[in-house]
Chains A and B, each alone.
Chain A
Amino acid sequence: MPPLEVVLQQAFNGLMLGVMYALVAVGFTLFFGVLDVIHFSHGDIFMLGAFTGLSLTFLWVAVGLGSPAVALPLTFLGAILATGLIGVLTGRGCVKPLAKAPPLMTLLATLSLGLVIREAVLIFYPRGADPKPFPALLPQGLFEVGGVVIRYENLIILAIGGAAMVLVDLIIKRTRIGASIRAVAQDAEAAQMMGVDLDRTVDFTFFLGAGLAAVAGILNGLYYSEIHFIMGIMAGVIGFSAAAVGGLGNVYGAILGGFLFGVLQTLAAAFIPRGSEFRDVVAFAVVMIFMVLKPTGILGEKPIERV
């Protein structure tokens, strides 16, 4: 049995990884819940959010706003707006026109869109093929509690990630647009008859999902200090799997699925002999088992929670 501090450290690692996955998974679940669409380019929107954030940090330095206290909120704000608007455009250009087409068409269209976004970053971002260092905008340094290393930036990342998820939940539950989203998720036609503006609601859902992906992308950059144009591929696959395990369409399910995935991967790598070679195998095998035993996901049968 490994020492307690190692177990606790691994638990903390799993928690951090879980936040990264959960933020992406919530995006997937939003699109599915409202539009019945599996938005497969969401992983690449997450990558685009990270690159948008990185570009904005250069902009703030260039205009004399390079101080982290100023640059960080501006980076989040700018990236959420820019990526959110791109999300709306992708919805209007790629998903809405296929609203009446078979689901396979939407799936293919979003998959292709992801490829376009990825290749565009590779080709048009300066030296886009190389990994890019992400500036340290959060306080550096660490402290130890019972042998567990905790970095200040990790705590802030957890706080921002948690706040983003709570905020999404509040928007959905406590605001007028959130009520529209819930109404469309329940029954789009009935919602329209009750006066809900469907186009506006769908646009906002895309904005919210893509904005959340931007937050996830920036947090990913801050946590790993590095971003790469291929980062969205695996994040997308895991985010979608996490959302499916938690119950597609359920925000809490997506969060739960994200943490489950993070913890599973960490446990596999940490405690199974040669487990790090099979961490993805273990995590995805569990997804398969879940899908077989409970196809609706862990929280998928709670229609009241469906967004």
Chain B
Amino acid sequence: MRDQTSPYARGGITRRDLLRTGVSAGLGLMAFRGPWRPAAAQAKKVVKLSFIGPLTGGTASNGLGGRNSFLLAVAERNADPKSKYRYETIVLDDECKPTVGVQAALKVGSDPEVIASVSHYCSVVAIATVDSFHKLGLPSMVWGAVLPDITYGHKHLEVTRVNGTMINQNHIAAEFAVKRLGFKTFSIIHDTTDYGRGHAKYFTEGLERVGGKILSTTGTAKDQKDYTAELTKVKAEKPEVIYYGGLTPDGVRVKVQMDKLGVKAQFQGTSGIKSDTFIETAGASAEGVYCFVEGAPTEKLPGGKKFLEAYSKMNFAEPSEAYGPFAYVATHLVIDAIEEVGPDRAKVAQKLKRTKKQDTIIGPVEFDEHGQNTVPLITTHVAQDGKWVVWEDSEYAAGKRELPGLKFKRERV
């Protein structure tokens, strides 16, 4: 027996029934899809951007600062009504390991919705992923790695870099040590990765230009635990400075073991040791260590104050660290290019490679034919009372304190 209340009871569906059902379904669907949004917002196409950096490991603090700065830039552009697209993010950890970095590059590159990537703090990873980004046709702007070959070792369109290279860093480092501090003799220790070798090579070049004397150059394995044999050998050379080209964990070991062996020389590092972890782990041994970093302290950058204010409003758990502003600028440059030429990987890569005279929070950015920013800024930092302090603001520069190496040099005389 038929149910008399059913529309089918009359042997068919009426037009009114159809209308009523259609309206109900339409309202239900609208309710399911969420609140009403303006037509313009609804029309915005989604574009995905990826960030790749070391979120775990010895250099994680820099990676997390970079990631947060990337997210800040994306949030700013999504909040901007002028933006043509809505940007979604993919964040991947490269662990500062080349194999993991290549996997991450392949993962984001195989997603056609990802139009560009802001990638890498570690040089060993950045150099390993160059070919992957090229083969995938995915534009990648490096925000922290300093090995020159990342931009100068190929002619690919896809890879560009917003920060300076270790060439500038090491030439300035050599000049600072010889001309400013008056050191003459150097023993170089470096890890045997491309990163460490690159630093040793360009620092050697820099020293040759300013007349510093190299007593020895020693390559050591990355993640080596014991440096006593190398340091004992170096100690016998009586250098005024031991230069270490490598990253934080190994840098800590070299410095701590130097002190334990009673090596009376100044320890000079590179941007690779400029992390809070270096000071926390080395403890008292960190005092008076100096190193060089591309860029300037964030608060001293042209747009640094504005950046820091915006960063603090996001309530990130981690500080932006030295390279955060570079990740922030790289993200804005990438989005600028997408806004101008549309979400097309090839067109975005072309546009980014020709970046000229862009005013950013780190100052003007201009890429050469290799996609390398040619307006690098290098700042010297010194560890003072458990903090990295800009050399010019430090008590060492003011003459209130004496660097350990200068003290040893004076005592020798």
Contact = CB atoms under 8 A, between A and B. Distances in A.
B179 to A, nearest CB: 30
A91 B219 CA distance: 40
B7 interface: no
B58 A6 contact: no
B281 A130 contact: yes
Contact of B252 (A16, A127, A151, A226): A226
A224 B225 contact: yes
A16 B232 CA distance: 14
A17 B220 contact: no
Contacts of A16: 228
Interface string B220-263: 11010110111011001000000000001100110011001110
A177 interface: no
B230 A276 contact: yes
A133 B233 contact: no
Q: Chain A's interface: helix, strand, loop or mixed, by majority?
A: helix
Interface string B181-221: 00000000000100000000000000000000000001111
Interface string B49-62: 00000001110100
Contacts, number: 90
B236 A3 contact: yes
A133 B283 contact: yes
B149 interface: no
A228 B277 CA distance: 12
A130 B221 contact: no
29 contacts: A2-B233, A2-B236, A3-B236, A10-B232, A10-B233, A13-B229, A129-B58, A129-B60, A130-B280, A131-B248, A131-B281, A132-B281, A133-B283, A142-B262, A224-B226, A226-B253, A226-B256, A226-B281, A228-B249, A234-B225, A266-B228, A269-B229, A269-B233, A274-B219, A276-B229, A276-B230, A277-B192, A277-B221, A280-B221
A122 interface: yes
Interface of B: 56-58, 60, 192, 218-221, 223, 225-226, 228-230, 232-233, 236, 248-249, 252-253, 256-257, 260-262, 277, 280-283
B218 A276 contact: yes
A16 B282 CA distance: 21
Contacts of A269: 229-230, 233
B1 to A, nearest CB: 65
Given A16-B228, A270-B232, A276-B229, 6 more contacts: A6-B233, A10-B232, A13-B226, A130-B60, A131-B277, A225-B256
A270 B282 CA distance: 25
A9 interface: yes
Nearest to B96: A129
B229 A230 contact: no
Contacts of A131: 58, 248-249, 252, 277, 281
Contacts of A274: 219
A279 interface: yes
Given A9-B232, A131-B58, A131-B277, A230 B256 contact: no
Nearest to A154: B260
A226 B220 CA distance: 18
Interface string A1-30: 011001001100110110000000000000
Interface string A74-103: 000000000000000000000000000000
B232 A6 contact: yes
A230 B220 contact: no
A53 to B, nearest CB: 16
A224 B257 contact: yes
Interface string A252-288: 0000000000000110011000101101100000000
A252 B281 CA distance: 36
A270 B232 CA distance: 8
A130 B281 CA distance: 9
Given A10-B229, A16-B228, A224-B257, A130 B220 contact: no
Given A224-B257, A226-B252, A133 B236 contact: no
Contacts of A280: 221
A45 interface: no
A225 B261 CA distance: 13
A235 B218 CA distance: 23
A129 B248 CA distance: 12
Contact of A17 (B60, B228, B256): B228
B225 A130 contact: no
A266 B228 CA distance: 8
A85 to B, nearest CB: 27
A158 B48 CA distance: 58
A280 B225 CA distance: 12
Choose among A10, A122, A224 the residue with the greatest number of B CB atoms under 10 Å from its CB: A224
Contacts of B229: 10, 13-14, 265-266, 269-270, 276, 279
